[in-house]
Structure 1
């Protein structure tokens, strides 16, 4: 089977859920940019927690629920560290710990917004959305290639890991650190071979689809707003209100 027939951002139930909660990619891009601006800005810390709560149903529609729960727990765990560390004892250690909790919470929320965009958006829809926004082709094509390449790289790493285990080779993290040359032999060499093959197939696919052709390109994809777009836009309005008038957590 062809390489591109195995590349999907949706699998099984995830594909069905993502399709039933369709959102215009332009709305997702706006949400990602605005979320990063607000969460990483000078707004109240509670803003990051509100954003995480609003992101939960979006991620649950595109990613397996178990992974979403892990992300949600991780985010609020760091939030708890930020709020509780200064209350337990006094000194520079709780101050440093609270600072880590403060920033890791915000980084986790921004990563969740990017995760939703990547997991719920097919490359063809993203190309159509960026083309509708009049983004230059020299930016769209590398981005599309990267989004197709990264999931395939993850699959190849998983396959190499399974192949090593079947051969009785220990590829645990401490073994990798103790034997870096052996790691290069068992993992990096087959990975480089696979990436070379993937790069050739990506180039051939790009040529067949006419991505390098000059002039306007046509698309069979119709971009339209839906209830998902209304939910995201309302959520962004809530975040903007919290940014300017939100309550701060007194820690």
Structure 2
């Protein structure tokens, strides 16, 4: 089996195996969503929330990193400062939603890091190494192509409507008619095309798939796993003893 390719989509300084990226996504999402934020744990939660920021810096996505950091800090500090001064109804409807979004944003940004730095071949090869069923691998592989294509299609529709001076925010009805309707029709067509492409490439074949992608653990993966072990060796005892 041939396994050779340039690692990743980008010229990234931190080269991680797709399995390590999946582990990071899982750990950060579970820690922030299911974990507690009482006492010292609130400050420990800032550590996994900082991980997507560091990875965006490593990708030289400085603008995205600053936007993410600003949104997270404003949501985190703003909700704590405004809760005592706002009515209960406002806190339940808006402040609580904003506070909960601070637990979702880091996991979503790690998902963005996974999608933007991992090719379909690398992901499929990693799933094959883990003996994951094709029922899970194929839909996620299609999503790797689906999301970037959707973004490009929406940009194309937006530029076309701007050229025709149609569907601005001043007229929401026309915007839905001239932008969203063509966009949604394109989404259906793109989904069908990508599904057919996946079948053509043989992603659902029961035979062992041959690919030209080299994956494997490096010292970056070892360092990340070691840091995760150190973090949870401190986090879990504190969370257990506080109960």
If the length of structure 1 is used for normalisation, what is the TM-score?
Answer: 0.77
Question: Offset at 1:21?
Answer: 1.9
Q: Tell me, which stretches of 5 or more residues in structure 2 are unaligned?
A: 1-7
Q: SS at the partner of 2:204?
A: coil
Is the 1:130–1:140 Cα contact (8 Å) retained in structure 2?
yes
After TM superposition, list the pairs within 5 Å mapping 1:106-125 onto structure 2: 106-125=103-122
Q: 1:91 to 1:214 in 2, by over 3 A?
A: closer
How far, CA to CA, are the matches of 1:164 and 1:112 in structure 2? 30
> Residue 34 in 1 paired to residue 31 in 2?
no
Query: May I ask how many residue pairs the two structures share in their alignment?
Result: 227
1:185-224 Cα shifts (integer Å, max 9, x gaps):
4124432443354345424432442223222212222221
- Equivalent position of 2:222 in the other structure: 230
Q: 1:90 to 1:153 in 2, by over 3 A?
A: closer
1:13-33 Cα shifts (integer Å, max 9, x gaps):
xx22x2x32100001111111
Runs (4 or more) in structure 1 with deviation over 6 Å come to: none
Question: Offset at 1:141?
Answer: 0.9
Q: 1:161 to 1:42 in 2, by over 3 A?
A: same
1:214-248 Cα shifts (integer Å, max 9, x gaps):
2221222222122432342234234414523569x
Q: 1:102 to 1:170 in 2, by over 3 A?
A: closer
After TM superposition, list the pairs within 5 Å mapping 1:199-238 onto structure 2: 199-238=191-230
After TM superposition, list the pairs within 5 Å mapping 1:121-200 onto structure 2: 121-172=118-169, 174-176=170-172, 179=173, 182-200=174-192
How far, CA to CA, are the matches of 1:152 and 1:58 in structure 2? 23
- Equivalent position of 1:24 in the other structure: 17
Segment of structure 1 superposing worse, 222-231 or 134-143: 222-231
Q: 1:63 to 1:151 in 2, by over 3 A?
A: farther
- Equivalent position of 1:6 in the other structure: none
Q: 1:82 to 1:198 in 2, by over 3 A?
A: closer
Segment of structure 1 superposing worse, 28-37 or 97-106: 97-106
The alignment yields a C-alpha RMSD, in angstroms, of: 2.8
Q: Tell me, which stretches of 5 or more residues in structure 1 are unaligned?
A: 1-8
